[in-house]
Amino acid sequence: MTFPWLKGHGTLNDFVLLPDHDGQRHGELSAELVAALCDRRAGIGADGVIRVIRSAALGMPSDGEWFMDYRNADGSVSEMCGNGIRVLARHLIDEELVPEAPFVIGTRDGDKHVTPLPDGEISVDMGRGEVRGFSKVRAGERVWEAHDVRTGNPHAVVFVDDLAQAGPLLEAPEHDPETYPDGVNVEFVRRVGPAHVAMRVHERGSGETLSCGTGACAVGLTAARLDGVERPATYRVDVPGGILHVTWRDDDGLVLTGPAVIVARGEMEWMA
Ligand SMILES: N[C@@H](CCC[C@H](N)C(=O)O)C(=O)O
201-224 confidence digits (pLDDT tens): 999 999 999 999 999 999 999 999
Reported as a pLDDT band with limits 50, 70 and 90, residue 272 is low
* Centre of ligand 1 from the C-alpha of residue 88, in Å: 14
How far apart CA 14 and CA 99 sit, in angstroms, is 26
Q: What is the pLDDT of residue 157?
A: 98
How far apart CA 163 and CA 152 sit, in angstroms, is 25
Best mutation site among 12, 78, 105, 114 for ligand 1 pocket (most ligand atoms within 8 Å of CB): 78
Rounded to 5 degrees, what are φ and ψ at 76?
Answer: -75, 155
Both 134 and 158 in one domain: the answer is: yes
How far apart CA 136 and CA 175 sit, in angstroms, is 6
CA-wise closest residue to 235 among 202, 184, 191, 201: 191
Amino acid residing at 27:
G
- State the Cα torsion 108-207-138-146 to the nearest 10°: -40
Distances (CA, A) of 50 to 17, 200, 272: 5, 23, 20
Domain of residue 154: give its range.
128-255
How many domains does the chain divide into? 2
Rounded to 5 degrees, what are φ and ψ at 77?
Answer: -90, 140
Residues 174-192: what's their mean pLDDT?
A: 98
Does the pLDDT value for residue 271 go beyond 90?
no
- Residues with CB under 6 Å of ligand 1 are 13, 48, 72, 78, 81-84, 153, 185, 203-206, 212-214
Which residue ranges make up the annotated binding site? 13, 72, 82-83, 153, 185, 203-204, 213-214
Measured from the Cα of 214, ligand 1's closest atom is 13
Catalytic residue list contains 212: yes
Both 115 and 32 in one domain: the answer is: yes
Both 44 and 139 in one domain: the answer is: no
List the CATH number of the domain containing 89.
Answer: 3.10.310.10
Best mutation site among 87, 185, 210 for ligand 1 pocket (most ligand atoms within 8 Å of CB): 185
Q: What is the pLDDT of residue 37?
A: 96
Residues 226-241: what's their mean pLDDT?
A: 98
Please, is 45 exposed, middle or buried when counting C-beta atoms within 10 Å of its C-beta (0-12, 13-18, 19+)?
Answer: middle
Q: Per the residue annotation, which of 46, 68, 73, 81 is the catalytic one?
A: 81
Both 41 and 59 in one domain: the answer is: yes
Both 99 and 174 in one domain: the answer is: no
Which residue ranges make up the annotated binding site for substrate? 13, 72, 82-83, 153, 185, 203-204, 213-214
How far apart CA 193 and CA 189 sit, in angstroms, is 12
Both 250 and 132 in one domain: the answer is: yes
Both 101 and 186 in one domain: the answer is: no
Does the pLDDT value for residue 1 go beyond 80?
no
Both 118 and 213 in one domain: the answer is: no
How far apart CA 221 and CA 215 sit, in angstroms, is 10
Q: What is the pLDDT of residue 270?
A: 75
Measured from the Cα of 84, ligand 1's closest atom is 12
Measured from the Cα of 76, ligand 1's closest atom is 9
Reported as a pLDDT band with limits 50, 70 and 90, residue 27 is confident
Catalytic residue list contains 217: no
ipTM rounded to 2 decimals: 0.99
Tens-place pLDDT, residues 58-70: 999 999 999 999 9
Q: What is the pLDDT of residue 231?
A: 98
Mean pLDDT of the chain: 97
Q: Which residues are bridge partners to 8 per DSSP?
A: 15, 262
Both 84 and 42 in one domain: the answer is: yes
Both 123 and 134 in one domain: the answer is: no
Both 212 and 172 in one domain: the answer is: yes
Reported as a pLDDT band with limits 50, 70 and 90, residue 148 is very high
* Centre of ligand 1 from the C-alpha of residue 203, in Å: 6
Q: Is residue 220 within 8 Å of 229, Cβ to Cβ?
A: no
Both 164 and 183 in one domain: the answer is: yes
Tens-place pLDDT, residues 32-89: 999 999 999 999 999 999 999 999 999 999 999 999 999 999 999 999 999 999 999 9
